[in-house]
Structure formats: structure tokens, C-alpha cells
Structure 1
Amino acid sequence: MSQYVVGLTGGIGSGKSTVADLFVAQGAGLVDTDAIARELTLAGGAAMPALTAEFGPEVLAADGALDRVAMRQLAFADPSARSRLEGILHPLIRQVSAERCKSATEPYVILAVPLLVESGNYRQRCDRIVVVDCPESLQIERVMARNGLSAEEVKAIMAAQATRQQRLAAADDVVVNDGDREKIVGQVKIRHANYLALLAEKLKASC
């Protein structure tokens, strides 16, 4: 059972997954709330009965999973749809992620939460918060290349998230991901050693 939870977050295109994988390579556990959300909305997923009841069959793909494109369009047309979607998904994500953090066998767990700052309540579940940061121009460039979106579309997504300043204000630690992999690896190694030391202090204090 892991005794130490590090919340990891960052804006779209900041490179959260890259940094999370580097922590795993150092020996950390990983609980990814995006991956949990996808599991919950697969055909037969735990969230699907409530989502179908709330939004109707038009948000279902042919295989019975959530049709993400249809759901996005509905949320865009009806602002209340997003809050109703989150009202169903977020409690399930919190429950599953808490269970996985508790059952992890690694010394500490990286809890990857894209909207950690926006959600407001993950702070009480995390011993530390690490923010993956990069210039906003680089975020836009990465997401355009990855998702085929226009700069305006990426900026609209970023505008709906916490600002870079808000994320940095919430951070205990920052990993700068400006594309230099060696620099990122070095930062992760330093943070990893620090988290092991903080875990040891926490365990000693609880004895």
C-alpha cells in the first residue's frame, strides 16, 4: 500500500504523460484519471447506465461505448450537459482512483489529474502537487501537431482550463518540459529522490 500520493497536473500539451512515464521509470506507481474515465465509458463501463439514462441513446457509439464526439457536441450546444456529465463521472473517477492509490505497492503514487487545479478537491488527497509547465506557445504547437486542431481551437480549450499562473500558484514542485528530454529526466530524478525522502519522514512521524 502506497503511503504517499503526488498529484501531477499541467495544461493541455504540457507533456504530462511524458513526465508521468519518467516517474514510473524511476519506480513510482501511476494512477491516471484520464485512463479511468476511458474505462468507465467503454461499452459495459460502470458509468454507461447512468450516462445513457441522463443523455439518451444518441450519445452511444455503435459498440455501446460513449460517443465522445457526440458528447462534446452536446456539451457545446448545452452548457448544462458538461456539468451533468461531470456529476456522473467525477464521483466514480474519485472512487476508483482512491482505491488504486490505496492498493498500489510502489513507494509512492503519481496521481495524474489533468484538471486537478480546477477540481479544487484533489489537494486534500495529495501529499504534494507537481505541475508540468511549458510556454503556452509550445502547448499550442504540440496540440495542433498531435490533434490536428487549429490554433484557435487549442486556445479555446486552454481558456476553459486553469491559467498557467493558477497552476503554478498551486504547485509544490514544477517540472519544466520545454522539449529537452535530458533536462526533464534530470528534474524527475531530483523530484523522485525528494519524494522518497518525504515519504520516509512521513512514515517516521506516523510511528
Structure 2
Amino acid sequence: MNNTFVVGLTGGIGSGKSAATDLFKTHGIDVVDADEVARDVVLPGTTGLQSIVERFGDSVLLSDGTLDRAQLRKLVFTDSTAKNWLNSLLHPLIRERMQQLIADTSSAYCILSVPLLVENKLTTMCNKVVVVDCSESTQLTRAVERDSSDVETIKNIMDAQATREERLNAADYVLDNNSSLLSLEQQVADLHHQLLAQASNTPSS
């Protein structure tokens, strides 16, 4: 049984999740990033990529043999059967890899950074859940600027994610990221000390 104290960290698009994750790293905390894991499980040579090619053909590969994510997205976007198949292939692979990485961490606790932590019911993997929160208008402004995207696209992504209320309901701790990076920095430092205390008081199972 893995005894790592796992702190799930999530937030909607444009909430500042990456900024918060980077701040935890400055305190020497190991981070398991679901986005990185999702890329790892479909690298050339993996069973994940092999299964995708068997299902969709070589059109989902780029010339260097890596997965053409844009092409795959196009194929599954309007086909719910294909999308469900892809999710049922990837989700167990991602979860297994995350558990492996969590077991390998050596800091007092580890951060499990997952954009869809609430939506994919991955809160069950966590001892505590931290939500990076800001107003929806701030999310929209930040995401449009960061991704050089149009408002409609970002709104569609926000609509597909859990609502702000759903995320907050799942939170043990909330990092308010409506103002400055300095404010977020202070909140992370304070929370880090609380989590250190919690992790050291949690008996190994």
C-alpha cells in the first residue's frame, strides 16, 4: 500500500492552476501532473499508442511516429462511441501511471495536479483537495489571452468542465487567485505549512 499523502490540485481553465503548482515546487514538493502523464501513455512504443493506431489507422500519426493529437481530437469530437472507447482505454492507463509516480515521490506530501479531478472522480485518490479559484470572467480573460483563443472556444471549454460551485464543493482548501501572483504565493506558503502538519500527523496505512 502506498503511504504518500496525496493533495489533489485542480481548477478551471485560466484559474492559475499551473502557477499554483509551480509555487508548490518551490517549496520542494513533488508534483504528478496529469497532463504530462496523458502524453506519456501515448508515446511511441506504448500499448496506448498501439491500440489507438489499431483502432483509427495511421492517419492519427505524425511523420515522426508520434500521435497527431489534433487529428485524433477531430475523429472523436463528433463520434461519441469513439470518444468513449478512447476514454476507456486511456483513463485506466493514466490512473495506473499516476499511482506509480505517486509511489515514487519522496517529498513530505505530493501534489496531484489534474484539470478534471472532479469530473473524472479522481478525488478518491487524494487525502485532501485544493481548488485554485477565481471568477468566471477572470478565467475567461486569462484563458483568451494565454491561448490566443477566441471567447467562444474558451466558453465551450468552461461549459464542458465542472461548474465553479461543483469544484468548490469538492475542496478542502481554496486558493483565491482573483488578484496578484504575490497573493497566490503567500496563500501557497501558508497552505504548505498546514499540509506539512497534516501529512506528518497522518498514520501510515
Match of 1:166 in 2: 166
Separation of aligned partners in 1, 2:44 and 2:147? 24
Match of 1:9 in 2: 10
Separation of aligned partners in 2, 1:200 and 1:40? 32
1:77 is displaced (CA, Å) by: 2.3
Secondary structure of 2:4 counterpart: coil
1:2 is displaced (CA, Å) by: 6.1
Cα deviation digits, residues 48-76 of structure 1 (max 9, x gap): 00111122222111211111111121122
Contact (CA 8 Å) 1:30, 1:111: kept in 2 or not?
Answer: yes
Separation of aligned partners in 1, 2:71 and 2:84? 16
Separation of aligned partners in 2, 1:168 and 1:41? 32
Separation of aligned partners in 2, 1:46 and 1:96? 13
Name structure 2 gaps, 5 residues minimum.
none
Match of 2:30 in 1: 29
Separation of aligned partners in 1, 2:62 and 2:142? 28
Q: TM-score, normalised by structure 2?
A: 0.94
1:126 is displaced (CA, Å) by: 0.5
1:117 is displaced (CA, Å) by: 0.3
Match of 2:175 in 1: 175
Cα deviation digits, residues 144-175 of structure 1 (max 9, x gap): 11222211111011111100110001101111
Separation of aligned partners in 1, 2:145 and 2:3? 37
Q: 1:165 to 1:87 in 2, by over 3 A?
A: same
> What amino acid maps onto 1:89 in structure 2?
L
Q: TM-score, normalised by structure 1?
A: 0.93
- After the TM superposition, which parts of structure 1 deviate over 3 Å for at least 4 consecutive aligned residues? none
Secondary structure of 1:132 counterpart: strand
Cα deviation digits, residues 7-61 of structure 1 (max 9, x gap): 0111111111110110111121100010011122233344100111122222111
Match of 1:187 in 2: 187
Separation of aligned partners in 1, 2:58 and 2:78? 17
Q: 1:147 to 1:183 in 2, by over 3 A?
A: same
Separation of aligned partners in 2, 1:201 and 1:71? 45
1:113 is displaced (CA, Å) by: 0.8
Contact (CA 8 Å) 2:130, 2:171: kept in 1 or not?
Answer: yes
Match of 2:98 in 1: 97
Secondary structure of 1:175 counterpart: strand
Contact (CA 8 Å) 1:44, 1:64: kept in 2 or not?
Answer: no
Cα deviation digits, residues 76-122 of structure 1 (max 9, x gap): 221222222111111111011101101111111000111010011x2
Separation of aligned partners in 2, 1:7 and 1:129? 5
- Matched-pair identity in %: 43
Separation of aligned partners in 2, 1:186 and 1:102? 29
Q: Which segment drifts farther, 94-103 or 54-63?
A: 54-63
1:3 is displaced (CA, Å) by: 2.4
Separation of aligned partners in 2, 1:22 and 1:55? 40
Match of 2:140 in 1: 140
* Count, aligned residues: 204
Contact (CA 8 Å) 1:175, 1:188: kept in 2 or not?
Answer: yes
Contact (CA 8 Å) 2:32, 2:113: kept in 1 or not?
Answer: yes
Cα deviation digits, residues 124-155 of structure 1 (max 9, x gap): 21000001111111111122112222111110
Match of 1:157 in 2: 157
Separation of aligned partners in 2, 1:45 and 1:12? 29
